[in-house]
A and B are shown apart, each in its own frame.
Chain A
Amino acid sequence: MSNLLEIKNLRTTFSTMQGKADAIRGVDLQVKENEILGIVGESGSGKSVTMKSVMGLLPRSAKVTADALIYKGEDLTKKKEKELRSFRGREMAMIFQDPMTALNPLRTIGYHLTEVICRYRKVSKKEAEAIAIEMLRQVGIPSPEERMKQYPHEFSGGMRQRVIISMALCCEPSLLIADEPTTALDVTIQAQILDLLKQLKQDRGMSVVLISHDMGVMANMCDRIAVMYGGVLVEEGKVDEIFYQPKHPYTKDLLRSIPRPEVTRGARLQAIDGAPPTLHNMPKGCPFATRCQYATEKCFEIMPETRVFSDTQNAKCHLLTGKEE
């Protein structure tokens, strides 16, 4: 499968009150055609910033550099803001964690949808409305005609997330980035939204980047998984590889922290000890060194090289003995 998006050496730095903060420290990542790629990691590990950097959605205080961001053969780093804008939505759309605040409270759902439709297609207002209603129906919103006239506050969280997904579908993007799309929702609604995303990927041949801190969600949804920690991509591999032969100590810890039904009741859920380092006291070397039980002095000082274990799996850790890249 060919690459839809290829990120090469992405670095993102925020200027903050306390000085410069390196949020992303050299991430390489590919999104292939028609796959669901999961990005997993504790909160603060840089998942959102990575994808927002690619989309160009960060505030001015962020400085984004990359050797290349190849999308469908074109390098986005060489494009002007105006050209990038036409990529957003039509080529790659992004939906976010909190559906409650993602829509303008003073505009109807119909307004939101027809606005994006008219931006990308030369259609009349009537036709745009027809398309919008069809999209709402496709994402499973009952009686879409009436819903069009309603305001966001008249929708439940799950329904709003559906509206936002339908907004993305109106643009017919090739890549949908879903940043913790179900974290703010009830468990049953979560499953419905995830099913919807999976179905859209199959029906439309889209690629999906699914960001989550929930390993359980990842197992059900993804083709491949990228594990992030402290602004570094520490491990990457197919779902089976990550779940059955995890290499990086952090990945292993993450897997241990999944609640398992088969484990005897009363056994304690294992949380990872300690807290992630903040951006201002990040070790020079491996970001996980401060919490890793195997860490040596070298781990704190030198950023580990990528070790390759198969065509699809690699990890960054000094203690691993895979092939060097």
Chain B
Amino acid sequence: MIRVDGTGKSNSLIQVRGLDKTYRRGGEEIQVLQRLNLDVDKGDFVAFMGPSGSGKTTLLNLLGGLDVPTHGSITVAGDEITHMSGNKLTQWRARHVGFIFQMYNLLPVLTAFQNVELPLLLTKLSKSDRRKHVETALGVVGLADRMNHYPRQLSGGQEQRVAIARAIVADPTFLLCDEPTGDLDRKSADEIMELIHRLVTEHGKTVLMVTHDPVVATRADTTLHLEKGVLVEGKTSHESVMAGGAA
């Protein structure tokens, strides 16, 4: 159950309380997030929408431990990440977060296989175990036959599927996607969303996704809008209304 009023159960997977993020540019301060609350349970699929500059990427970066908030706390599976040191946070990211960005996802000098293998290099898995995991992940995204292709030999949609395989290969606690379809045509975008949806329904993944595209957002259980630094529940997506009614 996704809540934005700070009243979630204390055992929700992701618990955000009173999150503030203020950027200082020159002399002026930009308050991007203001006392934001959020609760996400395991298996939830939530979409964040909002105008450009509203702070969607900022929120995702905070949730993924790439940036630190000005105030407030983020707790994931019982670990409060807001007080972790740089090194601990890096290790935490490796274990708990799968990132999918809009672009710049893959290393052009590595094959699809090697790209997907990257997160596993940080684990103690043996070479053959790594191979098994990579093959499974590439199988899930339907690219087992493209293992040895380089990114430039793949279409945009295929590249993004490799990125998804890399995000799930180490079986992270949750996935963060920042406009995963932003660079793709409608058809590829639909395929990617189909894939992410399957990850949630068939594999029980927890997904937090930023998108500009209302059609893409309908794939999520819930759409939250970022307005004036806080999240409000969406009323525009009929699916999110249905999901809310079913719960």
A and B associate: no
Residue positions of A touching B, CB distance < 8 A? none
